[in-house]
Amino acid sequence: MRHLVLPILLLLASCSLQKMALRSASPMFKESSDKLTREGSWDFFRESAPGNLKFLEMMSLSDPQNLILLGTLIKGYTGYAYAVPETLALGDDLAGVENSKWKREAIVHYTRAFDYGLSYLKQKDISASDLLDADDDKLKKKLKSELDDEDVTAVLYTAQAWGSLINLQQDNVALVSQVPKVKVMFDWVCKMNPKIDHGVCEIFNAQYEASRPRMLGGNPIKADELYLAAIARHPKHLLIRLGRIQYLLLPGFEKEKYEAEAKVLKEEFAKWDDLNRDTLENKSEYRDAQDLNLYNAIAKKRFEMIEKNKSKIF
């Protein structure tokens, strides 16, 4: 037994040093993740993101309580699910493809993000039962009492993953009934930081009104007002214009409004493309909005799919 003591002590010391190293490096991983929005190539993001996420997962396995790594994984998997499989699932949906593999893949990745979110919140004394079973007022009080500024991003992307899982499975009545909980989480985030992530609060509120049926409180008129106000405040954020098309104009068969918005988007995408073609002394209007590159790349990919299939819609 004595012969085992030294190897065990060395192993424990090694694990401890590894965790210390990870804790020191974690802010760098988060910072790198935050800068991904400057990537202007949808194809490059599609190819590179899975490897980066797997690397972060390996790091997290060595330090499961590392909240910075967990937060980065929540944001990473939610962002990847939205940018890639959900975007491709939209193309399948517009083309009339049944049982889309991309929809299934989006659900898998959103589920993984949500699971990481549950792990994160558990360390903050907020259980899965608090999210799923507590009434809305109790959940509001729990978020207020247990969380602070440092938790805003993790809660935001946990809520987005949860909301997206519901949106992709609207035939699941039990899931749809959880929508108010998602709104409670978004409301907490947006109260803590109204300007977080380039207008995401405004985007959520507009989509929230647009996506729900009227019988469940949806209000397309209010949704359009919110979208137009958000577009006016963030004119270079083309994903907001795309959202107005995807969640409001297409479901409402608003062909005339669609054509007007599509004309603007084509002009804006041309200006944005100039930024990506020439980086030397570039005079593109989008030069000072490069933090929106990935959002605009997603918007362009989705718009191309909509244009390809618009004759099937209108």
- Average pLDDT value for residue range 255-279: 88
Q: How far apart are CA 136 and CA 182, in angstroms?
A: 10
> Cα separation of 82 and 85, whole Å?
7
**Cα Rg for the chain, rounded, in angstroms?**
21
Query: How far is 19 from 59, CA to CA, in rounded Å?
Result: 9
pLDDT, average across residues 288-306: 95
pLDDT in tens, 120-147: 999 999 999 999 888 999 999 999 999 9
Categorize the per-residue pLDDT at 24 as very low, low, confident or very high, splitting at 50, 70 and 90.
low
Report d(CA 145, CA 169) in Å as an integer.
32
Residue 251, pLDDT above cutoff 90: yes
| pLDDT for 32 beyond 60 | no
Measure the N-to-C terminal CA separation of the chain; round to a whole number of Å.
77
- pLDDT (mean) for 203-223: 88
Q: What does the block give as tokens for 9?
A: 């002590």
Q: What residues does each domain of the chain span?
A: 27-192, 198-277+290-314
- CA 28, 43, 58 angle in degrees (round to 5)? 40
pLDDT in tens, 166-177: 999 988 988 988
Residue where the block lists tokens 């049926």: 213
User: What per-residue string of b and e applies to 182-193 under the rule 16 or more CB within 10 Å gives b?
Assistant: bbbbbbbbbebe
CATH match of 27-192 with 1.25.40.920: yes
Q: For residue 40, give every residue at least 6 positions away whose Cβ sits within 8 Å of its Cβ, in sequence order, or none.
A: 275, 276, 290, 293, 294, 296, 297
The two three-digit tokens of residue 225, written as one number: 């007002």
299: Cβ–Cβ under 8 A, 6 or more apart, which residues?
A: 238, 239, 241, 242, 265
- Ranking 143-152, 213-222, 249-258, 301-310 by mean pLDDT, the lowest is 213-222
To the nearest whole percent, how much of the chain has pLDDT over 70? 86
3-class SS string, the chain: CHHHHHHHHHHHHHHHHHHHHHHHHHHHHHHHHHHHHHCCCHHHHHHHHHHHHHHHHHHHHHCCCCHHHHHHHHHHHHHHHHHCHHHHHHHHHHHCCCCCHHHHHHHHHHHHHHHHHHHHHHCCCCCHHHHHCCCHHHHHHHHHHHCCHHHHHHHHHHHHHHHHHHHHCCCCHHHHCCHHHHHHHHHHHHHHCCCCCCCHHHHHHHHHHHHCCHHHCCCHHHHHHHHHHHHHHCCCCHHHHHHHHHHHHCCCCCHHHHHHHHHHHHHHHHHHHHHHHCCCCCCCCCHHHHHHHHHHHHHHHHHHHHHHHHHHHC
